[in-house]
Structure 1
Amino acid sequence: MTGTAAESDGSRGAFSLDSRTPSGVPSAFDTFRREWETRIGDGFRLPTFSADTTSDFRVRLRVARVRDAAITDLHGASATRTAGAVNGVEDQVRMYVVRRGAWTLDGPPARGEHTVSAGQFLLRHVGRPAHFRTAPHTTAKVVVLPADLLKPLLADRIVTGPARSAEVRLLVAHANMIHTTMTDLGPAGVQAARSTLIELAKAVARGRFDDIEPRLAPALVQAAKDLANHRLADPELSSTTLARELHVSVRTLQRAFATAGESVTAYIRSRRLEEARLALTAPSGHPSVSELAAHWQFADSSHFIRAFKKRYGRTPTEYARSLGSTGVA
């Protein structure tokens, strides 16, 4: 278990926990509750969980708070389920993005329950506490947001759809950035992270991305990079295909990358060169220069060699030989 101490003013806090080992973590649920209450705060009250959940709490999770918003990433080996009376008021907006398994939410009697299955998301306003349960081996992201700026957009609507939609991809990319940069964020960074998260939730509620909102550029860049990293060997990978996947114009995507001091094309080439370099460091089975050039979508071996030497100061063959590798030609 690791943690980041909560700010004295309650503006941020974070912790992580992994109790999925065969023996688990002693009193894993007690540790989770203590860290949540200490680092995330009273504004995000935990429900009462079933006895089965508290006695068999095998999860990996990370939690981050930025002011009145919180993000939880859950990878649950065991099932979870709330229990007991549900009283009080919760004026919050919550978003569930499920990658694997299922997350079932109770609703008002007239609506019944809602199950968010793998590959789907659900966004809704929560006025009163309600029970939920997760299936074993569920992987999900839960984002809790203040209601004042989002409730007018949602009203009584429950917004659902595929997790691969452009707006959800942008929100997930930004939420992941918050997790990784939490320890480096100052007060201005915390406020910016929170504001961008809310703007992206608005985009999900509207079903469209405001591509002239400058605060969303970092999230757009990260989402594009995430997509590119999964398609580096695709000959069709380009600014155009990434922009189309993210429902923005090519110019908007290029402008977002420019704010980070790079171009889409340069990023794709850099990542392809890095993957080619890693292939040369493998302990056995080195591909040839021509095979690397073809796999990573360089026009030919000459173009690949020139680009590799410009990046790493040596040709691919020289680089492999410097590591004691053979068989690269």
Structure 2
Amino acid sequence: MRQRLAELRGPAHRPRPLDARALAALAANPGCARRALLDGAGVDKGALAAALGSPAAFGQSQFAFMRGNAFEARVVSDGGAELMRLLGVDGAEAFRLPELTAAGPEGRAARTALALREATAEGGWTLLRHPLLALEVAGSPVYLEPDGVVVGPDGGWTVVEIKSFPMLDGSADAAKVGAAARQAAVYALALARTAVVTPGARVAESVLLVCPKDFSNLPTGSMVDIRKQLAVTRRQLARLTRVEEIAAALPEGTTFDPERPQEELSAAVACVPAAYAPECLAACELAFHCRDRAREAGAIEALGRSVRGELGGLTTVAEVLAAARGTAGDPTDPAVAALRRAAALRTEALA
């Protein structure tokens, strides 16, 4: 299977590792076999989108990236004491800071698991900075690196998310907080694998979100409840089709190597079903390509998931217009009846 995945991304290209941000986006759209396969195979979707002629300006700007790194350095510059003070732990001597260095991702993940078990057994406070966690997604192992994990005296394991967007008067942008919560939920699910085999351990259902206070660079923290995000992410990741099942259905010789001709790549991508929605524009490098194909096909999905859900068995714009005009569709279908009623009201209003 590993050889097959290498063929899919191109033998000259190293696999791009999944991160929590990508997994959260994948969990939000579990019906998209295209993204599941490309992410599972480690395909560089940005390079693939450019090769298809639909490049996307996706990801953080260089300025935002540098600002985020500078703020995180400020938060942990004193060995993590500033971060722990947000939890009410004063003084660097009041908590442990284990070394997590090891060879390779498997070694780092094993070292992190050992440090978590030791911290829980010894009691007291422990801060793990940039631990590496393992999670199986669609049958493939994924390694995730949160900003931090705090182990408390009661055996609770709390994910720490450090973000550079401001917290003004004790609150932050709801959309950004929601994205951070979904990302933290992925880390919490990965932590749960180790917690199950660690006596006395439990993964907290809230995350410590650390942001700049007001317009300063001073860190402030807030506990964010992630129970809803945990439930949704757990359910959605469980629904993902295994990567090998998707790959097995592809024609022999299919590849997503960005070095291949555009026509060949377009045909290869078309072999894998997608589940496009406008929300993909903020979460996937291939969104512009998928949107163009959806519009060409007149697919209702291009108008949004809520619209698609309201229209039932009508799957294209042409079918919807025909139903509204009364030239097609079952008049007993609630969606068709609503469309004809809306068309009648429109005609009456414009008369």
- Which structure has more helix as a fraction of its residues? 2
Higher relative contact order (CA 8 A, sep 6+): 2
Q: Return the TM-score normalized by structure 1.
A: 0.28
Q: Highest Rg: 1 or 2? A: 2
